[in-house]
Amino acid sequence: MLYLHTVVMSVHLCLDAYNTLVKKFTVFIKEPASSDAWTGSFSGSSTTTATAAFPSAEIDTVKRVVYDEATRNIQLTGFDETNVQKGSLKSVTFDENTFATAKVLEQLILNNLDLGMLPFGFLPTTISLLTMENCNLANFPSQLGNLANKNLVTLNLNKNTMTSVTDTDSAIAETLRGLTTLNLADNLIATFEVVLPLITTLDLSNNKLTEFPSAIFNMTNLNILNIAGNSINSLTVTSAQYNFLRKLSSASTLAITSSACSSSTATDVLDSVVCVSDDFASLSDESSNSSSGKSTLIIVVIVLAVAVVLGTAGFFLYRHRMKNRGYYVPNTPDMVGIATPPSANNTPARNWAGSRGRASSQQRTPAAGGRTPRSSIPNLLQLAGFSDHGKKMFDAQPRRNSAQSTLPAKISRSRGSIIHSSVVQIPSGELNYTRKLAKGAFGEVWLALHGTDLVAVKKLITVEGTSVQDFVSELNLLASLSHRCILTLIGACWDDELTDIQIVMEYMDSGDLLSVLRENSPSVLTWENSKATYCVQVCEAVYYLHSLQPALIHRDIKSRNILVDSKKGAKLSDFGESRERTVARTMTAGVGTARWVAPEIILGEDYSELADIYSLGVLLTEIDTHQIPYQTLELEESMIVQQVAVGKLRPKVSDTCPEVIRRLTHECLQYDPSLRPSAARVLQSLLASPLFRHPSVDLTEE
């Protein structure tokens, strides 16, 4: 327990404060309860005794504190909790340079304090996150200008009384332009004019905006936008602006009805309706500058004509090329283009899968020592000491679906989605549901009987936004994959409108690997009896994905996405909705994928196969320790992400970890992606190790 001294009515009192962690300092500046009493030596007014309750005592000053040199996080909160009514404030005076002794402070969180006037040197220049929630701020604190080009990336100023966001103060505007996350919810903002080039998450909800801020359309990195709770009754956008909104994350909220739109221009996007009209931009320009209106219109017409000609030529050229490559190009513009299924003689192919699966395809030029050609797999197996029969584990021949249906194969189109004809349609009446296995925000997974076989059925329960497209894309992607170590698609149930769609998959009786590791100690679930096999099988799946042409990148390899069966071993799953991993999204993901993401992805670089390899290394530490990464570290999630991003933190294996796992983990977790091994190299090392010579599961079983 640490105590922060303050002066109250000439009496020195102790302010309730504590170190939740060595690196975190938390203070609650609260109203004294009627049961509180001063029991120490006392020399006060004649109306107060040493043991009397002091319900009227007020904390009015917080002086400088000598913080531990390792302090990274400081939180000062008025009252007993952070969630109080806006405007309920504690009036406290701070000394100059209040946090000067916190030399490496990274997060400063202030709640429910009257900070309309800040003392000199109040905001440390080292912080990367600043929260001043419900702190009586009518404007951006002038000291924000001192943080320009420093470390600040996350700024939360919600529940204040700010009225505008402009670039009048160039220093403050420069600080804002370096942010990736900005929360200005619950203010009085009527004007927002600053373009934030790096911003990925922007919250302007519950303000006084009457028009959609045009500056937002220039924020090219924006992923999550919340602008609900304003007075924006309609929004007319160009096609380009509509596409900008459409590409935002489904976590975004607009809440715009645009009831004045004509039936030909009203278009759904996220949870809203907007008017889409390319005439809007040219008409606006014409009305604002009548002297040049005619010339502007002529230019627009010429540009549109040229664009139509080039677009038409490009479209037919694209169709011609895709046709030669065996792709199916739908005539409907909003359809998701897919290709025809590969023949059984093709090298592992998935070039007809939907384009929106979490796993993404990229055509990459193999680097030296990188992806192993498929023709070298027999040599790899011989090196590992396996017989020719063992080579079957790498076979990628198209599998036979166990489900048989009397319904004719067909392509179903709805809501801009398309189900490929190779997907077996199962009548929903053939499924007998027994119990719910899991539930998420958009879907549920049920255990069901299909004939005499147990199957897992994934149901879409929220039909909104792009959820149907994403669900169908996952279905198509699963249908294009064929490997014994990847979860098998059996078929699907759907109606003509795709309002009731279900994916039927093989059932894995032990659940996900995360649960298996949590439920069994390392002395029960050992390398010899199971864990060695799991490692090989997961690596097989990753190697298969990376060997496809073009390579398929999973993006979300972790124990939660590995399913385990008592007979079949481990299989890679979860090829669902694709989500671009931005810094802000990663930092707010909770104990989720953020802990498995490679440093270069956190820093905004593109995904490659080597990002999967980093996640594979993190998974190896999970299998070894039976713990999620950094479970024993008392760090905020955002701090973990920041430390990983700069190479200061990576998960560790246990003292008893087998040497081959220790070495592979070290190689996979290299900060420099070019130093990480390929999936082929990892698999080769695993198979060549004595630890994996006698796996408990028959990897050659068909």
Tell me the torsion sign for CA atoms 560, 561, 567, 569: negative
Q: pLDDT digit string (tens) for 380-407?
A: 443 333 333 333 333 333 333 333 333 3
Q: What angle do CA 23, 26, 30 make, to 5 degrees?
A: 175
Nearest to 664 by CA among 481, 483, 532: 532
Specify the length of the chain in residues: 702
Confidence of residue 286 (pLDDT cuts 50, 70, 90): very low
CATH superfamily of 400-506: Phosphorylase Kinase; domain 1 (3.30.200.20)
- Among the CATH numbers 3.40.50.2300, 3.40.50.150, 1.10.510.10, 3.20.20.140, which is that of 373-395+511-692? 1.10.510.10
Average pLDDT over residues 178-183: 92
How many Cα atoms occupy the beta-carbon half-sphere of 672 within 13 Å? 2
- Tell me how far the alpha carbon of residue 10 is from its chain's centroid: 52
Tell me the C-alpha distance between 31 and 41, whole Å: 22
Q: Which two tokens stand for residue 375?
A: 């023709």
So what's the pLDDT on residue 345?
34
Average pLDDT over residues 600-607: 85
Task: Look at residue 18 and tell me whether its pLDDT is greater than 60.
Answer: no
The 3-class secondary structure across 251-305, one letter per residue, is CCECCCCCCCCCCCCEEEECCEEEEECCHHHHHHHHHHCHHHHHHHHHHHHHHHH
Which H/E stretch holds residue 468? helix 467-480
So what's the pLDDT on residue 662?
94
3-class secondary structure, 338: strand
So what's the pLDDT on residue 216?
94
Q: Which of 119-123, 325-329, 467-471 has the lowest mean pLDDT?
A: 325-329
Every domain of the chain and the residues it spans: 1-136, 283-324, 373-395+511-692, 400-506
Q: pLDDT digit string (tens) for 663-693?
A: 999 999 999 999 999 999 999 999 888 887 5
Which H/E stretch holds residue 612? helix 609-625
**Hey, how many other C-beta atoms are within 10 angstroms of the C-beta on 526?**
13
DSSP 12-38: EEEEEEEEEETTEEEEEE-PPPTT-B-
So what's the pLDDT on residue 59?
66
Nearest to 76 by CA among 126, 131, 21, 129: 131
Average pLDDT over residues 278-302: 44
Nearest to 569 by CA among 535, 544, 546: 535
Cis check: omega of the bond before 550, within 30 degrees of 0: yes
Same fold: 373-395+511-692 with 400-506: no
Q: Which two tokens stand for residue 159?
A: 């529940």
So what's the pLDDT on residue 289?
42
Q: Which residue has the tokens 């130093």?
A: 675
3-class secondary structure, 521: coil
Nearest to 612 by CA among 581, 637, 640: 581
Average pLDDT over residues 622-633: 92
Angstrom CA distances, 317 to 310, 313, 329, 616, stand at: 10, 6, 12, 40
Which H/E stretch holds residue 181? strand 181-183
Q: What angle do CA 622, 361, 331 make, to 5 degrees?
A: 140
3-class secondary structure, 553: strand
So what's the pLDDT on residue 263?
63
DSSP 431-453: EEEEEEEEE-SSEEEEEEEETTE
So what's the pLDDT on residue 242?
87
- Beta-carbon contacts of 173 under 8 Å, excluding residues fewer than 6 positions away, are 166, 167, 194
Average pLDDT over residues 485-504: 89
Tell me the C-alpha distance between 25 and 27, whole Å: 7
Q: Which residue has the tokens 């050992």?
A: 526
How many Cα atoms occupy the beta-carbon half-sphere of 95 within 13 Å? 14
Nearest to 237 by CA among 268, 207, 210: 268
